[in-house]
Structure 1
Amino acid sequence: MINKILGVFLGLSCFLGQAQEEANPKKYDLDFNYFYGNIVEHNKDIGHLITGHPQGFIFSYNQKTFGEKEWQRHFNFPDLGASLIYQDMANPNLGDHIGIYAHYNFYFLNRYLLLRVGQGVSYNTDPYDPDANYENIAYGTHLLASTYLLLNFSKKNLFKGFGVQGGINLIHYSNGNFKAPNTSTNTFSINLGLNYQLDHDEEFHYQTERSITNYSEPIHLNFTLKGGVQTSDVIGMDQFPFYILGTYLDKRVSYKSSVHLGSEVFLSPMLEELIYYRSIAYPEDGLQGDESSTRVGVFTGYQLHLGKTSIFGNLGYYVYYPYDFEGRTYLRAGIQRELFKNFFGSVSVKSHAAKAEAVEFGIGYRL
């Protein structure tokens, strides 16, 4: 679980490091939301765990931006913040969650509509145990990576700094196949809450003039090395390291956006062990046990730039695929941070549709 935690905290440091770059003036607000909803049955195997309506609260601390940096002006002056989430899963086998997150708030419709994207780590009180809690096939570990999205109508400073907000949210918990079982959960909820603007009597001004309007860069070549620890869905199977060697071309098409095209090689000892296991346990599969576990993929992608931090997504397809494992198409989503000139670090989740395969920790070099 150590690698998983490190990955999440690298993601947190990317967000919080961005916040530390801000200069005066600084302005903050708080918000508190109660939520009530349902677990989405994204996998029929967790049907027996959906027995009630999860509920909880989200408490957040937000730092405002005013356009002191160019990227803030291009994104309509987002907030940088931290959240604490408590959630009762409404099923004794699923336990409760308490998590910490770093987040961005993006504003639309004259700043009345708020979209929040948060990433962090959550502690589950009652994960899978072969004796005490064998029914909880959703979480194989106490510590889980968690992502949450929140879309709210927000009206601030209605009365002496207090305002109201309400809307919908989605909270995802998964350990990224670090340890089986890991069917994960997604909770969709409605929420209602209050916000409070600190120093609400003070005036502040946005710097709206953009110094960069038309922006592009030539094509650049990138080299990446990713890795981590993973296991198969077979409960009790050992954990194995994995490695991904990749190269891709990126084209910066605007100040906000880049597009990618690349290829990568996946080296997975876990898959080698799984092939051998299935050749013995399931002879009807027709496996010899010595089939190659190496996969080669090609992918295209998109990258959204938020200063030195960025959010990216890939859609990939295995062109070399000797063993059928979760399908030939794969997805990746993650965050990236420029460490110093030409070098960057990343944390991402690779999945096949709604099923996570691994959490990847990467370093890269951009020519």
Structure 2
Amino acid sequence: MCLASSFLFSQDDPDLFTLDANYFYGTILEHNPDISHLITDHPTGLILSYSKKTYGFKAWESRYNYPDWGFSFIYQDLKNEYLGENYSLYAHYNFYFLNRNLNFRIGQGLAYTTNPYDRETNYNNNAYGSDVMSTTYIMLNYKKENVYKGLGFQAGFSIIHYSNANVKAPNNSTNTFVFNVGANYLVDYKEKPDFQPSTEDKKFTEKIKYNLAFRAGVNESDVVGTGQYPFYNLSFYADKRINRKSALQVGTDVFFAEFLKELIYYYSVAYPERNIDPDTDYKRLGLFVGHELFINKMSLITQLGFYVYYPYDFEGRVYNRIGLKRYFGDQFFGAITLKSHGAKAEAVEFGVGVRL
């Protein structure tokens, strides 16, 4: 009986996955002239991935045209003596378009770099201020799976971003544009089922929800050597689901960034000609609008805000936030987000919250 149940379950959801490997060759983009001395050759590397296939056995899978989810490893030789080599681990999603021939992947994770900035031994590396960094990559491939007995191929391009998000200065970061080519293998390809059509009701409504989030972490100003300090951010916002995928948000943030308090004092002493009052309030208050994209128990949030209380001018009054949330049940969530001013990162925020 147990064997029969197991057999029936395997027919419903065979739990298939693909393994793929890509070699890449590219160039570091000069997004900031301060890193021009670090661009001396063409980086090369390897991307290895595991991707779990979906076929619509869960409701969310058909909403996104049966994406994959999985994990990636990237090795990159940056071809520069000051930058060294990077080793990275990611969680990723694969999304498919054009009759599943076009594959878009986005991955987020952590990287270890072998040669970070050091004031005495590696002061030329102003891109990586710490040996552990956050990293994001996107990949766009023409992809064919199961061409012959589970084997397939892919080719396209990727952008790989490394930054410690001002956890420690310096943090000029790098963005590498690469061309990649590789092969993939669908494990147990003979068990591949048909894609299951959606059975969800197209109409979806949900009342307005109210969210409270607490975010914290450590960061440092761009002035090397001023030190790392904790920050605490509190957010309250309302959201309204407009369909099964999306919700719109509006709310307020309060920011308590100790590094800014230290930076104000530093400039008041080091540059008296700027006439900065050392007692200037370092706290900020912002209003924001945002969007949340729900993907199973995960969601992607994007927010754009404006400081309405802004006693000290730091990077401008407009700020943005992007990140991931993971729901635990219907109400509680954890989040990792990046707060920036345009392309200039201020902090990686680790948060918890409740949605009521």
TM bin, normalised by shorter chain, reads: over 0.9
- Which of 318, 332, 335 lines up with 1:329 in the alignment? 318
Residues 52, 68 of structure 2: 8 Å contact kept: yes
Taking the TM superposition and a 5 Å limit, the aligned residue runs for 1:42-121 are 42-121=31-110
Residues 45, 75 of structure 2: 8 Å contact kept: yes
1:38 equivalent to 2:46? Answer no
C-alpha distance in structure 1 between counterparts of 2:18 and 2:333, whole Å: 31
1:225 equivalent to 2:214? Answer yes
The amino acid of 1:294's aligned partner reads K
- Which of 171, 176, 182 lines up with 1:182 in the alignment? 171
Residues 250, 290 of structure 2: 8 Å contact kept: yes
The amino acid of 1:73's aligned partner reads S
1:297 equivalent to 2:286? Answer yes
- Which of 282, 300, 307 lines up with 2:296 in the alignment? 307
Residues 14, 191 of structure 2: 8 Å contact kept: no
1:272 equivalent to 2:249? Answer no
Residue in structure 2 matched with residue 365 of structure 1 by the alignment: 354
C-alpha distance in structure 2 between counterparts of 1:302 and 1:147, whole Å: 20
C-alpha distance in structure 1 between counterparts of 2:296 and 2:340, whole Å: 27
> Given the two structures, how large is their TM-score scaled by the length of structure 2?
0.95
Residue in structure 2 matched with residue 126 of structure 1 by the alignment: 115
Residue in structure 2 matched with residue 173 of structure 1 by the alignment: 162
Deviation string, structure 1 residues 263-282 (Cα, Å, up to 9, x no partner)? 11101111011000100001
Residues 183, 355 of structure 1: 8 Å contact kept: no
Residues 37, 188 of structure 1: 8 Å contact kept: yes
Greater CA radius of gyration, 1 or 2?
Answer: 2
Residue in structure 2 matched with residue 159 of structure 1 by the alignment: 148
Deviation string, structure 1 residues 111-166 (Cα, Å, up to 9, x no partner)? 11101111111110000011111000100111111111001010111122211111
SS of structure 2 residue aligned to 1:201: helix
C-alpha distance in structure 2 between counterparts of 1:172 and 1:191, whole Å: 16
C-alpha distance in structure 2 between counterparts of 1:283 and 1:258, whole Å: 48
Pairwise CA distance, 1:99: 0.8
Residue in structure 2 matched with residue 14 of structure 1 by the alignment: none
The amino acid of 1:160's aligned partner reads K
Deviation string, structure 1 residues 28-66 (Cα, Å, up to 9, x no partner)? 111111111111112121111111111111011111011
Deviation string, structure 1 residues 88-127 (Cα, Å, up to 9, x no partner)? 1111101100111111111111111101111111110000
Q: Which has the higher contact order (CA 8 A, sep 6+)?
A: 1
Residues 14, 192 of structure 2: 8 Å contact kept: no
The amino acid of 2:349's aligned partner reads E
C-alpha distance in structure 2 between counterparts of 1:86 and 1:343, whole Å: 35
Pairwise CA distance, 1:24: 3.3
Deviation string, structure 1 residues 218-237 (Cα, Å, up to 9, x no partner)? 21111111111111111111
- Which of 326, 332, 348 lines up with 1:343 in the alignment? 332
Identity %: 52
The amino acid of 2:212's aligned partner reads F
**Which portions of structure 1, spanning 4 or more consecutive aligned residues, are displaced by more than 6 angstroms?**
none
Pairwise CA distance, 1:256: 0.5
C-alpha distance in structure 1 between counterparts of 2:152 and 2:329, whole Å: 41
Deviation string, structure 1 residues 285-320 (Cα, Å, up to 9, x no partner)? 110211010111111111110111101111111111
The amino acid of 2:209's aligned partner reads H
What stretches of structure 1 of length at least 5 have no aligned partner? 1-22
